[in-house]
């Protein structure tokens, strides 16, 4: 599973961003669209996914142990969840 994330997590993040952006821009044409910051939500998800992808492929934090890298990954996931909540609910 880790190898799959090393290969494809960046593409998943990019795909989510493109999908959320299309949903927002196509949804603005209808009067029933509830979320105004859907594109920014996708961008937040993509940023988190790209950062985790870089850590797994050892582009970032190359001198640190696996324990430190896993801590950073958990921190990035938590911050991404908070940002997505902030985009969809608070704003």
Domain holding 63, by residue range, is: 2-90
pLDDT in the model for residue 45: 92
| 42/76 Cα distance (integer angstroms) | 15
- Gyration radius of the chain's alpha carbons: 15
pLDDT for residue 63 is more than 80: yes
pLDDT score of 28 = 74
Predicted confidence (pLDDT) per residue in 25-60, tens digit: 887 777 666 667 888 889 999 999 999 999 999 888
pLDDT in tens, 65-79: 999 999 999 999 999
**Which DSSP symbol is given to 38?**
H
Q: Give residue 91's pLDDT.
A: 64
**C-alpha 70, offset from chain centre:** 17
- More confident: 18 or 37: 18
Closest residue by Cα to residue 87 from 20, 10, 19: 20
Question: What is the number of structural domains in the chain?
Answer: 1
CA distance 38 to 10: 19
Give the pair of three-digit tokens for residue 82: 């908070």
């Amino acid at each position: 599973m880790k190898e799959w994330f090393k290969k494809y997590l960046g593409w998943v993040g990019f795909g989510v961003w493109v999908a959320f952006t299309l949903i927002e821009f196509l949804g603005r044409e209808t009067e029933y669209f509830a979320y105004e910051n859907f594109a920014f939500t996708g961008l937040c998800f993509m940023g988190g996914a790209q950062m985790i992808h870089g850590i797994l492929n050892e582009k970032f934090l190359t001198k640190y142990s696996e324990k430190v890298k896993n801590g950073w990954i958990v921190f990035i996931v938590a911050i991404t969840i908070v940002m997505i909540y902030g985009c969809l609910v608070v704003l």
